[in-house]
């Protein structure tokens, strides 16, 4: 991994619920995703209410995980180039256009305090809720966050999409992990659904400062595809 790659800091304004919110994104457009595509699993047709009327959509499911290191296999034997970096299990998610996507995220990592408590709230999901270990929530404790899944459009996208869900700290995971490489405790299970728009490639990342020390923990894993960021391809 090139250490010389410049950190790109971008301010992105997103309109959510009529409120303009400034978000910071770090270097997300500077590398292509490198993992095999993870295609959503087709579950069948479903009916959702859009603009006051019922529409029939494809319903698909994606299951991914967030880990305290990179020892769970996707980066290769021994965790690859950065075995100690926190990571998502896939950086290359693929879903159909105009579909209902239900995501399940198994959260295995420890955590801490958000530097921007905005990201303790759930945004952009069906009903504005997420389910955490079976409990329906609209926000969580901003001082006990493992990661966030924060999905946003880029200017080329025809359809805006902003989904952000906090993934609470897993209190069974300590840092550094002492229960063994590639072994993890029972996950915190987070589920939520959102509706995709037209075709395009969207970016997602984590907004909890969980990476290396460059720019206050927003370096390393936070700014590298394959770890704390990736793409959602809508096709
Ligand atoms: Cu993170």
The predicted pLDDT at position 225 comes to 84
The predicted-structure confidence for 150-161, as pLDDT tens digits, reads as follows 999 888 888 889
pLDDT band at 175 (very low <50, low <70, confident <90, very high): low
Alpha-carbon torsion 228, 233, 9, 105, what sign?
negative
Q: Confirm whether pTM is higher than 0.75.
A: yes
CA of 82 to the centre of ligand 1 (A): 15
The predicted pLDDT at position 179 comes to 55
CA of 109 to the centre of ligand 1 (A): 9
Q: Are 26 and 223 in contact (CB under 8 A)?
A: yes
What share of the chain in percent tops pLDDT 70?
81
The predicted pLDDT at position 32 comes to 58
Torsion region of 70: left, alpha or beta (phi above 0 gives left; psi -120 to 50 gives alpha): alpha
Strands 188-195 and 145-152: unpaired
CA of 45 to the centre of ligand 1 (A): 33
Lowest mean pLDDT among 79-83, 107-111, 179-183: 179-183
Nearest CA among 188, 4, 7 for reference residue 110: 188
Is the pLDDT confidence value at 22 over 90? no
pLDDT band at 7 (very low <50, low <70, confident <90, very high): very low
3-class DSSP state for residue 75?
coil
Nearest CA among 170, 172, 153 for reference residue 161: 153
CA of 205 to the centre of ligand 1 (A): 8
CA of 25 to the centre of ligand 1 (A): 13
pLDDT band at 18 (very low <50, low <70, confident <90, very high): very low
CA of 51 to the centre of ligand 1 (A): 34
CA of 49 to the centre of ligand 1 (A): 33
Phi, psi values for residue 194, rounded to 5°: -150, 160
Paired strand residues for 58: 45, 99
CA of 86 to the centre of ligand 1 (A): 7
Distance CA 229, CA 94 (A): 14
CA of 167 to the centre of ligand 1 (A): 9
Give me the torsion for CA of 141, 162, 67, 99, rounded to 10°: 120
Lowest mean pLDDT among 39-48, 73-82, 114-123: 73-82
In the chain, the domains with their CATH numbers are 33-234 (2.60.40)
The predicted pLDDT at position 24 comes to 42
The predicted-structure confidence for 99-115, as pLDDT tens digits, reads as follows 999 999 999 999 999 99
């Amino acid at each position: 991994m090139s250490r010389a790659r410049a950190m790109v800091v971008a301010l992105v304004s997103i309109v959510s619920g009529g409120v303009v919110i400034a978000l910071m994104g770090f270097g997300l457009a500077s590398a292509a995703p490198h993992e095999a595509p993870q295609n959503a699993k087709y579950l069948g047709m479903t009916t959702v209410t859009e603009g006051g009327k019922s529409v029939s959509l494809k319903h698909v499911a994606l299951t991914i995980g967030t880990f305290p290191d990179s020892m769970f296999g996707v980066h290769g034997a021994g965790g690859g180039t950065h075995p100690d970096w926190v990571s998502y299990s896939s950086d290359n998610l693929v879903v159909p256009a105009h579909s209902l996507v239900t995501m399940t995220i198994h959260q295995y990592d420890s955590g801490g305090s958000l530097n921007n408590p905005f990201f303790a709230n759930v945004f952009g999901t069906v009903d504005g809720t997420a389910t955490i270990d079976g409990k329906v929530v609209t926000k969580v404790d901003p001082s006990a966050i493992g990661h966030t899944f924060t999905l946003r459009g880029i200017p080329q996208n025809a359809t805006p999409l902003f989904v952000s869900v906090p993934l609470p700290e897993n209190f069974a995971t300590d840092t550094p992990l002492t229960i063994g490489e590639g072994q993890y405790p029972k996950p915190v299970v987070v589920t939520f659904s959102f509706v995709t728009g037209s075709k395009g490639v969207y970016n997602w990342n984590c907004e909890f400062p969980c990476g290396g020390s460059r720019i206050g923990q927003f370096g390393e894993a936070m700014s590298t595809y394959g770890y704390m960021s990736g793409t959602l391809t809508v096709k």
